[in-house]
Amino acid sequence: MTRPILQAKDLHVAFNGVKAADGVSMEVRDGEFLAIIGPNGSGKTTLLNICTGYIRPKSGRVQLDGQDITQLSPRAIARRGVARAFQIPQLFSAQRVIDNMMLALAAKRGLWSAVRPLETAARREEAKALLELVGLADDSERISSTLPEGHRKLLDIAVALALKPRLLLLDEPTSGVSALERFQLMEALMGALRHQQITALFVEHDMEVVARYASRVLVWNAGNIMAEGLPDKVFSNAEVRERVVGVA
């Protein structure tokens, strides 16, 4: 078995008495594309928030390469190679697409120059290459708020990829994207992940997407892991089909 990059151990989190994580332990293994599925409000996004330092669990811990990161800030965790793409794209909406990318690249390498311009030939080329990888090369000069939702999602992912993370956490990458665009988006995403050898964890509601792309599935229900394993095995579980997939 490949070694785990991220491990969550015995996590407890509750919001107004509702348990989002009730003693959950899980791990993300090097090189996999792990899907987390589950009903709305079951605590999937909370797990991403804990793993990226946005929420502190009541108890339990999160380890990255065996080191405890439970109390670290999102900023510190990002610096350790964990990037995040959001359900609602988090972009610099008044800036051009290329500026979003170049700022992300600068954040990785050298934000602290107050004299050299953000836009250098090398940085622009690198940004263009990443945009090409996710299929946004033609949009590079557009103001990011004018992009259609599917492209905004891709840009959000591309910005995260610019950090050259070891682990990428994606929150519903295909939500808000048209049925026609979702597989294009996933193909672009998978291509980029393979190209950069990035491990990923993604929360997803679209079972077709999960079945087609996930290397392993973890089923989250009422703050606990209900089932986990290969997609075929998980989707053949009757309880999962009834409660999560919606097919009895």
Contact set with another protein (CB under 8 A):
52, 73-76, 78-79, 83-84, 90-95, 99, 102-104, 106-108, 110-119, 143, 159-160, 163
Q: Please report how close the Cβ of residue 45 comes to another protein at its closest, in angstroms.
A: 14
Q: Please report how close the Cβ of residue 57 comes to another protein at its closest, in angstroms.
A: 19
Our CB check for another protein shows the closer of 102 and 209 to be: 102
Our CB check for another protein shows the closer of 117 and 246 to be: 117
Residue type, 243: R
Our CB check for another protein shows the closer of 37 and 82 to be: 82
Q: Tokens representing 77?
A: 């965790």
> What is the distance in angstroms between the CA of the first residue and the CA of the last residue of the chain?
33
Q: Please report how close the Cβ of residue 53 comes to another protein at its closest, in angstroms.
A: 9
Our CB check for another protein shows the closer of 141 and 232 to be: 141
Our CB check for another protein shows the closer of 147 and 227 to be: 147
Our CB check for another protein shows the closer of 50 and 78 to be: 78
Q: Please report how close the Cβ of residue 81 comes to another protein at its closest, in angstroms.
A: 10
Q: Please report how close the Cβ of residue 130 comes to another protein at its closest, in angstroms.
A: 14
Q: Please report how close the Cβ of residue 75 comes to another protein at its closest, in angstroms.
A: 5
CB 100 within 8 A of CB 185: no
Give the number of other CB atoms < 10 A from CB of residue 25. 12
CB 217 within 8 A of CB 179: no
Q: Which of 149, 118, 153, 154 is nearest to 136 (CA)?
A: 154
For the CA atoms of the chain, what is the radius of gyration? 18
CB 124 within 8 A of CB 98: yes
Helices (H), the chain: 44-51, 74-79, 97-109, 121-133, 149-161, 179-196, 207-213, 231-235, 238-240
CB 6 within 8 A of CB 30: no
Our CB check for another protein shows the closer of 89 and 135 to be: 89
Q: Please report how close the Cβ of residue 206 comes to another protein at its closest, in angstroms.
A: 24
Q: Tokens representing 127?
A: 């940004």
**Inter-axis angle of helices 179-196 and 149-161, to 10 degrees?**
10
